[in-house]
Chain A
């Protein structure tokens, strides 16, 4: 025991100064370096096996004309044909546009509602904790199950949604169909997504609002800054990093959106709500165009990966506060 007390306290802290402590450490079991690798390796190994190896395989397939419904054909390499096909395909650009519109509108609405709710909840009225929990429920649910039960709620004949609308507007409930009408379906997926995810933005904004120290407001009061001025000069700027985080996360998630929309409208009517993930699913798992869909998947990967990079930088920014 006494020998261990000899090196100064900092060296025992860990690997920062391994030279001195390693000798004593090795006597008492595995070295820190061995433990570090033993602990990290299984996770990295699993991710390599389940994510990276298949990804590399897919990159190879994206240069082939493989079609699983005709897998008896020999594997033929077609170079960059799949990529030029996709990038020259008007339909794909249209789907990307549909997806972008979905992302922009849903995230915008979620930010407005989420931020508004956070400001209200931050007033700390009685029972705010209970009501906050209620508001948070939708985002914890399975998106697929949500998409499914909203089809019942939005049925023009038997669903309650149209009745509520007609109660307030006088429009006959069976005269419009939220999921079946070209003009309404894109808004329907935005609506349901906002119902689900506005609480997400709210929760993050609430953390932002609570991170603002009281003394800043007190100083503003002393300076007789108006409430309006305080909002624009203190509340908003200090919440922006949190808001950015929420926006980036929602944007990435909605860019990948598949489950909720697949069950709510399955891309219809026509292809008005066909997000790019749904197109990909059809190409890969209905038409079985594996080569082509691999190429499309890679294009999506690159897009998401780029966004993820920005996302992680934003994470670090918030963390530093």
Chain B
């Protein structure tokens, strides 16, 4: 606020005075630092030992360890020191780390299958949604379709419904079709949710491609489909990629459907992470490690998407 109200007579209001810029910059950086602290705390917690993670008062400086990550990927059993002493020497660094806590590794944890589920369901639904969305968006953009506005509104409105409410009939339907707790069921559901975003976003991107290119191709004897494949799609590649990333992020982050419709086989990461349990409650370093691994791709995507972010979050309504 202060920066806006700073009277600027010597400078044009369009270009803020250096002092106004400095004040604005300072405030924004302060906010950015405060807003990023919770995330940094989680990244740090992943490198804490169990006792450091629940220390009272909370520890800012600590001895970093990979225990959290090891605990995330393994299932361990507690043994007596005598038993551990009799074992052959540890083969790996993580065996050694675990034995320091009087434990032995009993096997891998479920995190890898859950991660794989997230990947399969995420990429599967993204591919389908973008494929269907591109076709529909092209048709809405280039052809006169009866009731086009109503159809587009219908497509958007399906995404407005509260997920818990949608899950009730889906649960019943999937039970009949044996689709509960299957990857296919989740892929279909996420495709249905994502396709609405894909149609709206891609229609915006395709609208921006001048029709003249296709017309020229049609004149040159291309069929519609050839013109679509060889002229429109190459031009729309950036838009399609941005749309795909938005779909992927949605599927990756989705929780409500996942927690209500999956229990094991097809469970994805978001319902799994809060239930990483150690001895006596949540194993915070392991939870933090899972959260960190889960969030890193999102951070990368956010940086990649920076230019198209605005479009994505407003269904293509605001472009820039």
| Complex contacts, B41 vs chain A, CB 8 Å | 153, 160
Within 8 A of A (CB), among B152-194: 153-158, 160-173, 188-189, 191-192
- Give complex CA distance A135, B4 in Å: 20
Which residue of chain B is the closest to A276 with respect to CB atoms? B162
Q: A42 to B284, alpha carbons, bound, how many Å? A: 45
Contact B7 A30 (CB under 8 A): no
User: Of all chain B residues, which has the CB nearest A5?
Assistant: B219
In the complex the two chains form, what is the Cα distance from A30 to B139 in whole Å?
13
Contact A207 B320 (CB under 8 A): yes
Cβ of A195: which chain B residues have Cβ within 8 Å of it? 35, 38
How many angstroms from the CA of A297 to the CA of B161 in the assembled complex?
9
A70 at the interface (CB under 8 A from B): no
Give residues of chain B (274-301) contacting chain A, Cβ–Cβ below 8 Å.
274, 282, 284, 287-288, 291, 294-295, 298-299, 301
Whether a CB of chain B sits under 8 angstroms from the CB of A249 is: yes
Determine how close the nearest CB of chain A comes to the CB of B4; give it in whole angstroms: 5
**Interchain CB contact under 8 A, B173 and A53:** yes
Q: Does B256 sit within 8 A of A, measured CB to CB?
A: yes
Listed stretches A75-83, A90-98, A221-229; interface member:
A221-229
C-beta contact mask, B248-270 vs A, less than 8 Å → 1, else 0?
01001111100110000000001
Smallest CB–CB gap between A128 and chain B, Å? 7
Instruction: Name A28's closest neighbour in chain B (CB-CB).
Output: B223
Interface centre among B139, B168, B170, B287 (most CB of A within 10 A): B168
**Are B13's CB and A43's CB within 8 A?**
no
For B255, list chain A residues within 8 Å (CB).
Answer: 142-144, 258-259, 262-263
Residues of B within 8 A of A148 (CB): 273-274, 287, 291
Q: Tell me the complex Cα distance, A47–B189, Å.
A: 9
Are A145 and B24 interface neighbours, CB within 8 A?
A: no
Query: Do residues A297 and B143 form an inter-chain contact, with CB atoms below 8 A?
Result: no
Q: How large is the interface on A (under 10, 10 to 19, 20 to 34, 35 or more residues)?
A: 35 or more
Question: Which of the residues A1, A137, A252 comes within 8 Å of B39, measured between beta carbons?
Answer: A137
Closest Cβ of chain B to A80, distance in Å, is 19
Main secondary structure of the interface of A (DSSP, over half): helix
The answer to whether B253 and A204 have CB atoms under 8 Å apart is no
Q: Evaluate contact between A39 and B136: CB separation under 8 angstroms.
A: yes
**B302 and A43 within 8 A (CB):** no
B13:A140 contact, CB within 8 angstroms: no
Q: Across the A-B interface, give the 9 residue pairs with the lowest CB-CB distance, nearest first.
A: A29-B223, A54-B169, A144-B255, A142-B253, A297-B165, A125-B25, A50-B192, A39-B139, A39-B135
Q: List 13 A-B contacts (CB under 8 A).
A: A5-B219, A32-B143, A42-B135, A50-B192, A120-B28, A134-B35, A134-B36, A148-B273, A152-B284, A153-B38, A259-B256, A301-B161, A307-B160
B: residues with CB less than 8 A from A are: 1, 3-8, 12-16, 20-22, 24-25, 27-29, 31-32, 35-36, 38-39, 41-42, 45, 53-58, 132-133, 135-136, 138-140, 142-145, 151, 153-158, 160-173, 188-189, 191-192, 195-196, 199, 211, 215, 218-226, 249, 252-256, 259-260, 270-271, 273-274, 282, 284, 287-288, 291, 294-295, 298-299, 301-303, 306, 309-310, 313-315, 317-318, 320
A-side interface residues toward B, CB under 8 Å? 1, 4-5, 9, 12-16, 25, 28-30, 32-33, 35-40, 42-44, 46-47, 49-51, 53-55, 57-58, 61, 113, 116-117, 119-121, 123-129, 131-145, 148-150, 152-153, 157-160, 163, 173, 195, 199-200, 203-204, 206-207, 210, 214, 217-218, 220-221, 226-228, 230-231, 235, 242, 245, 249, 252, 255-256, 258-259, 262-263, 277, 280-281, 284-285, 290, 293-294, 296-298, 300-301, 304-305, 307-308, 311-312, 315, 318-319
